[in-house]
């Protein structure tokens, strides 16, 4: 993952003629994997299917290895985005919560998908965040082999570090196909995880409000 100021920003510490500090640069967030070799992935996918006794000779399966390779490449490639923030001029100090953000990731143990929703919130400090960026951060950490526990904590930690809020919280509820389609085959089951930081962890009123709202939204 690479995080750097947006190229359009030249001088962060400079002041304009009126002595007003310039707008904070947007943080450009880019996930840089080790490199994707689609041709090698397609060849390996074909060998994988053949090893499982699935012939790719029939016309309907001939293109399957390539589709597998492209599908997983897409699942592991989050889109870059700018973490745009704005001054909290009004001193807003109540909870900001985005509910039911779609989550799509892949279990790192079986490489099977897990899907669900995330509720992501924060108590603003000096700056507020463009609301769509909450969903972007979730996607950023979900597009890789994952476990739900780590994903939940990564989103909360990242917001706490890069936004500097008074508190941050994340609740994720997801269905894991490695649990529902194989093994125990617990159809209909879901897994919930949460991470609370700052005042959302230490202040009882803020904690209760966050958990009540996320429970109502589930």
Catalytic residue among 148, 154, 160, 209: 148
Is 99 annotated as catalytic? Answer: no
Residues in a beta bridge with 87: 127
Catalytic residue among 42, 107, 154, 160: 107
- E strand intervals along 108-166: 113-123, 127-129, 145-146
Closest CA to 117 of 203, 4, 215: 215
* Angle (nearest 5°) at CA 200 between 174 and 143: 35
Structure tokens at 56: 């790719």
Asked whether 26 and 18 are in contact (CB, 8 A), the reply is: no
Is 108 annotated as catalytic? Answer: yes
Residues in a beta bridge with 174: 116, 191
Asked whether 95 and 123 are in contact (CB, 8 A), the reply is: yes
Catalytic residue among 6, 47, 109, 149: 109
- Matching residue, tokens 């100021």: 5
Is 143 annotated as catalytic? Answer: no
Is 185 annotated as catalytic? Answer: no
Tally of residues, the chain: 218
Structure tokens at 168: 């941050």
Is 59 annotated as catalytic? Answer: no
Catalytic residue among 3, 50, 74, 108: 108
Closest CA to 205 of 151, 167, 161: 167
Active-site positions read 107-110, 148, 176, 178
């Amino acid at each position: 993952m690479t995080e750097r100021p947006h190229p359009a920003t030249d001088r962060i510490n400079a002041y304009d003629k009126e002595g007003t500090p310039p707008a904070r640069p947007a943080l450009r967030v880019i996930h840089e994997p080790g490199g994707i070799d689609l041709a090698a992935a397609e060849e390996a996918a074909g060998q994988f299917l053949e090893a499982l006794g699935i012939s790719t000779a029939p016309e309907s399966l001939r293109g399957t290895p390539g589709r597998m390779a492209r599908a997983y490449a897409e699942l592991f490639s989050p889109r870059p985005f700018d973490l745009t923030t704005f001054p909290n001029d009004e001193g807003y100090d109540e909870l900001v919560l985005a509910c039911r953000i779609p989550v799509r990731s892949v279990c790192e143990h079986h490489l099977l998908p897990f899907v669900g929703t995330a509720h992501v919130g924060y108590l603003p400090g000096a700056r507020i965040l463009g609301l769509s960026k909450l969903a972007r951060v979730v996607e950023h950490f979900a597009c890789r082999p994952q476990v739900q526990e780590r994903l939940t904590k990564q989103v909360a930690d990242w917001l706490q570090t890069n936004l500097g809020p008074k508190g941050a919280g994340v609740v994720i509820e997801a269905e894991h196909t490695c649990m529902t389609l194989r093994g125990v085959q617990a159809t209909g089951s879901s897994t919930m995880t949460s991470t609370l930081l700052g005042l959302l962890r230490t202040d009882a009123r803020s904690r209760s409000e966050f958990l009540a709202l996320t429970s109502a939204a589930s």
